[in-house]
Amino acid sequence: MQNKGFISTIAILLVLICGFYISFSFVTSHYEKKAKEFAAMTAKTSDETNDVYKQSLKQFNDSIDKEKVYLWYTYNQVRKMEVGLGLDLKGGMNVVLEISVPDILRQYASGDAQLAQINAAIKKAEADGGKGSDKDFVSRVASYIQPGVMASLFVREGEYMGNLKSNASNEEVTSALEKQVDSQVDAAFNIFRTRIDQFGVVAPNIQKLQDKNGQILLELPGVKEPERVTELLKSSANLEFFEVYNYNEILGDLQRFAAAFAQQDTVNHLNVIELLGGPQRAGSPIVGMVTPANKNLVDSVMNTELAKRTLPSDLSLMWSVKQAEFPVTDANGNVVKKDNGDDKTVGYWELIALKGDAVLEGDAVTSASSEYDNMQGNMVNMKMNDRGAQEWATITRNNIGRPIAIVLDEHVYSFPNVNNEITGGSSQITGNFTPEEANDLANVLKSGKMSAKVNVVSNNVIGPSLGAEAIQMGFISFIVAIILLMILMVAYYGWIPGLVANVGLILNLFFTLGILASLQAVLTLSGIAGIVLALGMAVDANVLIFERTKEELKSGKKLRQAIAEGYGNAFSAIFDSNLTSVITGVILLYFGSGPIKGFATTLIIGIVCSFFTAVFLTRIAFDLITKNGRCANMTFTTALSRNFLTSPKVNFMGKSKAAAAVWIALIVVSIASLAIRGMNQGIDFSGGRNYVVQFEKDVDRQAVQEKLLDLFQTKANDPTVSVAVINIDNPSKLRISTNYKIAEESEGIENEVASILYEGLKDELTVNGQTMSLDAFSVSDESHGIISIQKVGPSVADDMKRDAAWALGIAVVCMFLYILLRFRNIAFSVGAVCAVALTAFLIVGFYSICWGFLPFSMEIDQSFIAAVLTIIGYQINDTVVVFDRVREMIGIYPKEDRFKTFNKSLNQTLGRTVMTSFSTLLVLLCIFFLGGDTIRSFTFAMIFGVVVGTFCSLFCAAPIAYSIMARNSKKNGSVAEADGKPALEGNRRFK
């Protein structure tokens, strides 16, 4: 084998790199265990919902957050580097918020009359199919406004968007509005990020969704109060400007309060001044520099009735939005250094003294931007409207030499000093900003005029009990599948080939996890399914190589030569099949969302790793094992496989007409079912809410459905309201789906739906003989009642349906073009695509026939589309192997009758086809029975697809390719070879 040293070096480096990244997960696990032990010891309970437990846990994490705990990494960095668990495994909340782009456009209307015209254009754009989150929505609105008119509608006198003038063209105004939309979405992103910090969420994921202007995704692991989080996120921003007290102005009041508190606190004898960090700078509004561990204690002390009586009535104390970092000094006053030479720092929360009510509201700010000046560095420019400019001039004149605090959502972002009276409404804020700090402050200032409505377009809440169950089921299916695959390889190919293949599987798994860790990816239940499926498909490469090696051994070649030619002959089929699967994965990655992206990511990485381990590393292993004539009697067979499909002589092509009749019958039945019964669309495509409810005892699903349907339709006074109830895992757990008021965004709608559910289920909701309260029923972190909530709004459902259609269409086109490129014969492309389309259609038809009869969800949703796309890639793998053998046979026997060539190729690859299908089914059955209800429908579609797809490759793809080649031959009067070149003899014919 050539380049053996290079490949070995790459493998060793991969092992080291992957081991390095995986190690962070073990370090994080160690410190998480210590944190829980500390919290349990402090709170004297292991109840994670206990307030003292939660505070103690946060205190421990904050205390080591910036400490170096592993190599040169701090705990905060280590935690970010681990392979995190997704919400479906850890529990938590996934929510997509949409900032209303139409509201932003209305905000810039130059007057009431102009607003009416803008509303008319918005209405037409929405009726034309453009949602408010559409990336091109602003352009679509502009298309309904006459040329040259937009400036009069959007540009107010004296207030310009940037340098926009009143005579600007429609294109210029459109561009400026798009920038304003992006700017407000950035501001909202900044607000959401700050608000999430208030809940102490560990490792939240907050990101703006591409091509979805105005939509922001938040993934919040471990959230215990999803309703409160949702309401906080939906509330409008509140930017305010405050005058402040300087420390020396209220020092006397603080000292009097401290003395009174010391007399009252006879137990702990707290010194309030010391608790606040000691004396502060006289001219600063900072009255306290507090460690993270003492922040909650300061809150409790400063909110006592004694504090309210003793301190000035117009004094408000608010925290800084983030900690201030200060160098750590030793006893001699020297700055302590880290091992890497940087200054060691410690973070303090700053407590700011505000005076009276806000002197100016944020809606006075018309624009803000961060800029760089050679003299003053990074700074922020702020502009105000005419009213704000007048008030600002008065405020700054009265506060020369004093700070003005900028407050958003009751957190102080900055308190710059006023140097002089500022007139005209334009201000500059300077002061050693980093570029990021200047940009953040500019976004905060812009957020003050964010009046756009925030809608929750999708929401998924998973309780920790359901997450723990998912972890157990996911890993059980994972372990069982790997063990069974390993046993299969040894039982079918023998100890040595089986062990080599199994070591390749283990390395494949190790590399996959290492790459996921290096990408700081989150492992979800669907991601585990992707890894397991990738391992099952990795066996395919070993099967191809071992089957080809067996053929070479049968032809009389020696072991080392047979192995070399087995790898060489199987390479093209392995490469083609892996690449088609990667293409499918990329399409899923682009068009999918949430769990589908997790599945696609792990599938792609697993396939790439399997190619490297199966094609290169196992080859090196066999070279070492067979060196110097060792293991010369190795046959790649066992007693189980020695006589299995050794020389099959199935007349596949002769049975193609009978197969066609079966296909036509199945197509007719599927069409009839789709026409009569339709499809059971999940909320991904129809919009709605899913609630998973855990009962103490078994319940009657049908009775619950009838009762809830009547109740919801009565409450809504709408007979079109739907309710569907299915069992999950066991009769004591139900998933309830409803479209009740799904388009409504009024406050309290989620509580209304939960109340109706409680009313309908109350008789069944008992725990230890006691009826559950509404509050206990609605809390998703309880072991009974609602344990999971999912909401998909109508706009998101429409987007998902459109994306699904595009994904399926692009997948089929990509497969067609790739087969055409590789085989340079349209017959192969048409045969492959027809077989793929038939398989996909039959899966849809089968789901239409069976939904409602089988004891699990059979919905057409994102997971179902992912299953169909995965089957497309899988079936193309199978078809490519057959067509690759046809091409090879035509090259070896160019004069052989093509009917015979196709039959021979199908029979020669039958052993591989059966073994691959069996190994993949083995994995899928493990996931189906052991992986939990969350992915059961997905795996069932995969199982059906593997079975049908295998038969379609044998009895659809090959016969169609043969028929097209036969027809072309009759037209041309000669037989075309698979590579498109003429045969050596023109008198050959198809029979």
pLDDT digits (tens, 9 = 90+) for 4-18: 888 999 999 999 999
C-alpha distances out from residue 432 to 152, 328, 342, 352, 562, Å: 40, 21, 20, 20, 71
Find the mean pLDDT for residues 305-329: 88
Supply φ then ψ for residue 643, to 5 degrees: -110, 15
The Cα–Cα gap between 333 and 314 comes to 38
The predicted structure's pLDDT at residue 791: 83
Q: Which residue has the higher pLDDT, 223 or 558?
A: 558
The predicted structure's pLDDT at residue 890: 86
The predicted structure's pLDDT at residue 195: 72
Question: Is the predicted pLDDT of residue 729 greater than 90, yes or no?
Answer: no
Structure-block tokens of residue 966: 């036969």
- Amino acid 54 reads K
| Greatest mean pLDDT range, 618-627, 675-684, 891-900 | 618-627
Question: Is the predicted pLDDT of residue 317 greater than 90, yes or no?
Answer: yes
Which of the four pLDDT bands, split at 50, 70 and 90, describes residue 983? very low
Task: Name the nearest CA neighbour of 358 among 420, 299, 310, 409.
Answer: 409
Which of the four pLDDT bands, split at 50, 70 and 90, describes residue 655? very high
The Cα–Cα gap between 819 and 26 comes to 44
C-alpha distances out from residue 479 to 509, 514, 930, 936, Å: 12, 18, 10, 17
The predicted structure's pLDDT at residue 339: 62
**Within a 10 A sphere around the Cβ of 986, how many other Cβ atoms?**
12
Task: Name the nearest CA neighbour of 526 among 203, 233, 94.
Answer: 94
Question: 724 - beta bridge partners?
Answer: 737
CA dihedral for 133, 808, 925, 22, sign (positive or negative): negative
Question: Is the predicted pLDDT of residue 977 greater than 50, yes or no?
Answer: no
- Amino acid 214 reads G
Question: 725 - beta bridge partners?
Answer: 736
pLDDT digits (tens, 9 = 90+) for 408-436: 878 898 899 999 999 988 898 887 778 87
Q: Which residue has the higher pLDDT, 447 or 539?
A: 539
The Cα–Cα gap between 198 and 220 comes to 12
Question: Is the predicted pLDDT of residue 936 greater than 90, yes or no?
Answer: no
Residue-level length of the chain = 991
Number of alpha carbons in the 13 Å side-chain half-sphere of residue 189: 20
Question: Is the predicted pLDDT of residue 544 greater than 60, yes or no?
Answer: yes
Q: What is the DSSP string of 429-488?
A: EEEEE-HHHHHHHHHHHHHTT----EEEEEEEEE-HHHHHHHHHHHHHHHHHHHHHHHHH
- Amino acid 498 reads G
The predicted structure's pLDDT at residue 680: 84
The predicted structure's pLDDT at residue 539: 83
For the sheet containing 215-221, what is the strand order?
Answer: 205-208, 215-221, 92-99, 454-462, 785-792, 688-694, 730-738, 723-728
The predicted structure's pLDDT at residue 986: 36
The predicted structure's pLDDT at residue 370: 86
Question: Is the predicted pLDDT of residue 875 greater than 90, yes or no?
Answer: no
Number of alpha carbons in the 13 Å side-chain half-sphere of residue 584: 30
Structure-block tokens of residue 451: 């009046």
The helix/strand/coil state of 367 is: strand
The Cα–Cα gap between 433 and 597 comes to 37
Number of alpha carbons in the 13 Å side-chain half-sphere of residue 330: 7
Structure-block tokens of residue 633: 């009697």
The helix/strand/coil state of 335 is: strand
Q: Which residue has the higher pLDDT, 133 or 624?
A: 624
DSSP state of 655: G
Residues 6+ apart with CB under 8 A from 715: 740, 756
The predicted structure's pLDDT at residue 980: 39
C-alpha distances out from residue 610 to 1, 505, 582, 606, 618, Å: 19, 7, 12, 6, 11
Structure-block tokens of residue 310: 């003793």
Q: Which residue has the higher pLDDT, 627 or 684?
A: 627
Among all chains, which residue has been given the structure tokens 């009740």?
740
Q: Which residue has the higher pLDDT, 21 or 461?
A: 21
Question: Is the predicted pLDDT of residue 291 greater than 50, yes or no?
Answer: yes
The predicted structure's pLDDT at residue 508: 92
Question: Is the predicted pLDDT of residue 780 greater than 80, yes or no?
Answer: no
Which of the four pLDDT bands, split at 50, 70 and 90, describes residue 497? very high
Region for 647 from its dihedrals, namely left if φ exceeds 0, alpha if ψ lies in -120 to 50, beta otherwise: beta
Question: Is the predicted pLDDT of residue 81 greater than 90, yes or no?
Answer: no
Mean per-residue pLDDT of the chain: 83
| Greatest mean pLDDT range, 354-368, 813-827, 834-848 | 834-848
Let me know: does 106 contact 115? Beta carbons within 8 Å.
yes
The predicted structure's pLDDT at residue 971: 64
> CA 29 from chain center: how many Å?
23
Let me know: does 395 contact 478? Beta carbons within 8 Å.
no
SS3 content of the chain, % helix, strand, coil (to 5): 60, 15, 25
Q: Which residue has the higher pLDDT, 794 or 356?
A: 356
Let me know: does 827 contact 729? Beta carbons within 8 Å.
no
Residues 6+ apart with CB under 8 A from 9: none
Question: Is the predicted pLDDT of residue 345 greater than 80, yes or no?
Answer: no
CA dihedral for 143, 145, 146, 148, sign (positive or negative): negative
**Within a 10 A sphere around the Cβ of 646, how many other Cβ atoms?**
11
Which of the four pLDDT bands, split at 50, 70 and 90, describes residue 499? very high
The predicted structure's pLDDT at residue 246: 93
pLDDT digits (tens, 9 = 90+) for 109-127: 877 778 888 888 888 887 7
The Cα–Cα gap between 518 and 525 comes to 19
The predicted structure's pLDDT at residue 906: 92
The Cα–Cα gap between 938 and 932 comes to 11
Let me know: does 486 contact 502? Beta carbons within 8 Å.
yes
The predicted structure's pLDDT at residue 450: 57
Counts for the chain of helices (H) and strands (E), in that order: 34, 24
Task: Name the nearest CA neighbour of 447 among 233, 208, 183.
Answer: 183
Buried b or exposed e, range 45-54, using 16+ CB within 10 angstroms:
eeebebeebb
Q: What percent of the chain is predicted at pLDDT more than 70?
A: 89
Structure-block tokens of residue 721: 């309201």
The helix/strand/coil state of 984 is: coil
**Within a 10 A sphere around the Cβ of 206, how many other Cβ atoms?**
16
Q: Which residue has the higher pLDDT, 318 or 44?
A: 318
The predicted structure's pLDDT at residue 665: 96
The Cα–Cα gap between 340 and 164 comes to 50
Q: Which residue has the higher pLDDT, 106 or 983?
A: 106
Q: Which residue has the higher pLDDT, 769 or 659?
A: 659
Domains and CATH numbers, the chain: 4-82 (no CATH), 96-201+211-219 (no CATH), 239-448 (no CATH), 463-671+798-972 (no CATH), 688-792 (3.30.70.3400)
Give the global pTM.
Answer: 0.70
The predicted structure's pLDDT at residue 991: 32
The predicted structure's pLDDT at residue 213: 65
Find the mean pLDDT for residues 745-749: 71
The predicted structure's pLDDT at residue 200: 60
Residues 6+ apart with CB under 8 A from 141: 105, 118, 121, 122, 125
862-892 and 910-930 helices, crossing angle to 10°: 170
